[in-house]
Amino acid sequence: MEKIAVIGAGSWGTALARILADNCEHVTLWTRRAELCHAITATRENVNYLPGVMLPHNVMITADLAKAVQEKEAIILVVPSHTVRQILQQIAPLLSTCPIVVSCAKGVEEKTFLRMSEVIEQELPQCKPAVLSGPNHAEEVGRLIPSASVISARDRSVAEAAQELFITHRFRVYTNPDLIGVELGGALKNVIALAAGISDGLGYGDNTKAALVTRGLSEIARLGMQMGADVLTFAGLSGIGDLMVTCTSPHSRNRSLGMEIGQGRAVDEIISGMHMVAEGVRTTRATWQLAQHYHVDVPITEQVYKVLFEGKDPHQAVVDLMAREKTYEMEEVVSSKFKDW
């Protein structure tokens, strides 16, 4: 593909524009703010969101959405999940072709509970959606530190076309047909990352975090399977891979937000002072509601929800998690393979 648009000039959008520039002749990076457009154009660096990463000459920056998306072979959506529908509605009347649309947002739409690929299908029914997910921090990908990711789509040819678009000698990209699992793994891990951050903020140790990550993955897989995902996907890059990096890295916005909550700061105060979006807050509410709809037990998500939206004390949330009724580690295994145990 020769002409690609990246919609969203935050840290991740900027990093992906840098990656795509190695494979594509023309990459257009769109930002909604004209002043940011002028600043990046002048310096070839997004100082606000990804300082230290220089954009190649074949990356053009614009604040004109029509100029960004028209006559493009692929559109890469790198905006927060709660703005995806709105930006797609703006893009729809501007398109005269049917480009591949790759979602890089990791979230679930509130109220509808739709995944991002489903939102794309509703708003751009003529286009074929794909999803990019995995353990990738912009700060590392933009600096060409070796990383791996996964592309999923309903259509194999679409997934492979997107794979070819992104893969470089520094950015390894795999394909996976399990669109539901890839999207849910990327979205739901942010909830567990909030819990891991709260644990760090409370001063707990590695044992606590290991338990949260492991049991958190169990929750994600349990809900994902109920929604039609393949359990093996959660053992891959968009599952345990993304969960590990988001729960442990200093680059993780969700972990950082959780840490501040654990240290006693109010949620609204933290969010109002954040430079970039932490997807986990909205995703926690959507995940908790999804779990109730599907009758799936998600104790960690439940406690994070109560801390965020009901003002529950994080210390008490930990007490309540630890005091839950005794159970098997893997109930599904016992019920299916060890019935007499």
Backbone angles phi, psi at 136, to 5 degrees: -130, 110
Q: How many whole angstroms separate alpha carbon 26 and alpha carbon 3?
A: 5
Clarify whether 72 is annotated catalytic.
no
Angle between helices 179-202 and 116-123 (to 10 degrees): 130
Which candidate in 72, 106, 128, 189 is catalytic?
189
Q: Which amino acid is at 39?
A: A
> Distance (Å, rounded) from C-alpha 329 to C-alpha 31?
47
**Nearest 5°: phi and psi at 175?**
-115, 155
Measured CA to CA, the distance from residue 194 to residue 252 in angstroms comes to 10
**For residues 69 and 51, what is the distance between their CA atoms, to the nearest angstrom?**
26
- Burial environment of residue 104 by CB neighbours within 10 A (0 to 12, 13 to 18, 19 or more): buried
Axis-axis angle for helices 299-309, 179-202 (nearest 10): 60
Coil, strand or helix: which one is 130?
Answer: strand
d(CA 34, CA 43): 14
Token readout for 223 is: 């809900």
CA 10/CA 78 separation, integer angstroms:
8
Active site residues: 189
